[in-house]
Structure 1
Amino acid sequence: MSDTPEKIQEPRTWRSDGWTAQVIKNEDDDGWAVAMTKDGQSEPALVGPWTMGRDKKNPKPLDSNAFSTLVKTASEFVRRSEQQLHASLHQSIAVTAGGARVTVHLDIEPDEDNPSATLSARDEGDDLLAEVRVGPSFKLNRSSAVAWVEGGFGKPKGG
């Protein structure tokens, strides 16, 4: 038995290519919206306005071209969101301190019960110079990186 959801092509629901498009009543006004949900997810990845039909009461039916465009848009939205999350959890900045070029990394583990973070420094050859645990709220910026490197890689203030 396959775990692939059954393909659906109805006026208000389409399911294919790992996505489900569901045309829903827009709760904010008299119009319609479309919710794009990735297979296996309980919440939509993207909800956007949907076009009214010719009668100006009911939604325009979904079709192949509209569904393809919605899948592309939702996939791109999810990809950008994942990139943004990754960038916020894994930051790095290159600084020059004591005449040496050092890249300081902040890697945050966003655990709900016990979030943590690791601050590390690597030289130009990518060799690990130091690594310390810091609070997940530690702010990595040029001045905090330089201060940590010039301070001998001890536990930074605010960390």
Structure 2
Amino acid sequence: MEADVWESLPTTEEPETVHGDRLWIDNGWTAQVVKNEDDDGWAVAMTRHGESEPALVGPWTMGRDKKNPKPLDVSAFNTLVKTASEVIRRAEQYRYAMLHKNVAVSAGGETITVELDIVPDEFEPYAVLSAKGVFGEQLASVKVRPEFKLNSVTASAWIESGYRAPR
């Protein structure tokens, strides 16, 4: 029964609430306990509704009979939601850090913040190099290659060039 529910989950609307021993659907998340193919144990997969892949897959505790998995319950589900949400949050922070860099440099007696924002377009990726004054006002902005290396040396050279597009 539970496998049939899992396979028929709609992807565009909120599935109905299910609180089963191996399947728990609630609050925008689905937890499914599955047989671990690598050994005799069990695993749990946490998938956020609307996503095609689980955000978290981890080992699951054996039940008292040492053959079947421990049943899901509200406490375990809430802990899994918290952990999976944290995994997603960290992945988003990492992705943001990879696409957005900044460095502060001194030029002409003031501090200028130079930012590099990469736009990971599938066909034509690019980046935007921008300079901001001490009060956040934009001083310049140019389009650059996405592999541009932003550091204090390249930022200072760009400022000294009068904000001409780096080559």
Query: TM-score with structure 1 length normalisation?
Result: 0.90
- Alignment partner, residue 80 of structure 2: 70
Question: Tell me, what secondary structure is at the counterpart of 1:103?
Answer: strand
Q: Return closer, same or farther for 1:10/1:139 CA change in 2, 3 Å cut-off.
A: same
Q: Residue in 2 aligned with 1:146?
A: 156
One-letter amino acid of the structure 2 residue matched with residue 80 of structure 1? R
Q: How does 1:5-84 map to 2 (within 5 A)?
A: 5-84=15-94
CA deviations on 1:25-67 (whole Å, 9 max, x unpaired) are: 2233222111100011111011111111122222111111100
**In the alignment, structure 1 residue 99 sits paired with structure 2 residue 109:** yes
Work out the CA distance in 1 between the residues paired with 2:127 and 2:60: 42
Give the TM-score of the pair, scaled to structure 2.
0.86
Letter in 2 for 1:55: D
- Corresponding residue for residue 125 of structure 2: 115
Q: Is the 8 A contact 1:7 1:16 kept in 2?
A: yes
**Structure 1 residue 125: Cα displacement:** 2.3
* Unaligned segments of structure 1, at least 5 residues: none
Aligned residue for 2:43, secondary structure, equals: strand
Unpaired runs of 5+ residues, structure 2, are 1-11
1:86 aligns with 2:96: yes
Measured on the aligned residues, the alpha-carbon RMSD in Å equals 1.6
Q: Which residue type is aligned with residue 138 of structure 1?
A: F
